[in-house]
């Protein structure tokens, strides 16, 4: 699983989870970007193309973006991706967008654990294709 984390909020939250020795599933590989607004939809799709079982984008809470509104762009793109991903046969549950602040170590641990658990239940993307409506 791949998680795109933004430097100022979610990446800092992930660091804080580390400082607090909270559990984070080993399957999650973090890709650091400066802002969740940097994450273009094609990167998420390429992640699936390269074999990711799940992709997360974790952004700053609305109003807290270090660059003012990047996280709002990310949210809009996430909405698009939720609808786009089933068109490629991938269950939309395999893509997750959420907010994690620099203080939310617990949330980071929880969100990643929940995500990995749900992905494990789905199995591999190849064996769990969906139709464009997500079935």
Q: Which parts of this chain interact with other proteins (CB under 8 A)?
A: 2, 7, 11-12, 14-15, 17-19, 21-24, 26, 29-35, 37-41, 43, 46-47, 50-52, 66-70, 73, 77, 109
- Tally the C-alpha atoms within 13 A of residue 117's C-alpha that lie toward its C-beta: 7
Q: How far is the CB of 12 from other proteins (least distance, A)?
A: 6
Q: How far is the CB of 130 from other proteins (least distance, A)?
A: 21
- Complex with other proteins: residue 122 or 134, whichever CB lies closer: 122
Give the Cα-Cα-Cα angle 95, 100, 105 (nearest 5 degrees): 120
Q: Please state, in angstroms and rounded to a whole number, the distance separating the CA atoms of residues 135 and 125.
A: 13
Instruction: Name which of 95, 92, 89 is nearest 131 in CA terms.
Output: 89
Shortest Å distance, C-beta 20 to other proteins: 9
Q: How far is the CB of 132 from other proteins (least distance, A)?
A: 23
Cβ proximity to other proteins, 68 vs 83, nearer residue = 68
* Nearer of residues 42 and 135 to other proteins, judged by Cβ: 42
Q: Where are the beta strands (DSSP E) in the chain?
A: 2-6, 29-33, 55-59, 95-99
Q: Nearer to other proteins by C-beta: 7 or 128?
A: 7
**Cβ-contact 99, 59 below 8 angstroms:** yes
């Amino acid at each position: 699983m791949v998680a795109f984390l933004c430097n100022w909020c979610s990446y800092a939250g992930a660091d804080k989870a580390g400082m607090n020795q909270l559990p984070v599933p080993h399957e999650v590989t973090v890709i650091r970007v400066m802002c969740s607004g940097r994450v273009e939809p094609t990167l998420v799709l390429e992640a699936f193309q390269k074999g990711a079982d799940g992709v997360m984008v974790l952004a700053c809470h609305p109003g807290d973006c270090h660059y003012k509104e990047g996280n709002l762009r990310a949210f809009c793109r996430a909405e698009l991706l939720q609808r786009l991903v089933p068109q490629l046969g991938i269950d939309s549950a395999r893509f997750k967008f959420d907010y994690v602040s620099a203080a939310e170590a617990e949330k980071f641990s929880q969100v990643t654990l929940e995500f990995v658990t749900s992905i494990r239940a789905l199995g591999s993307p190849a064996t769990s294709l969906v139709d464009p409506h997500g079935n």
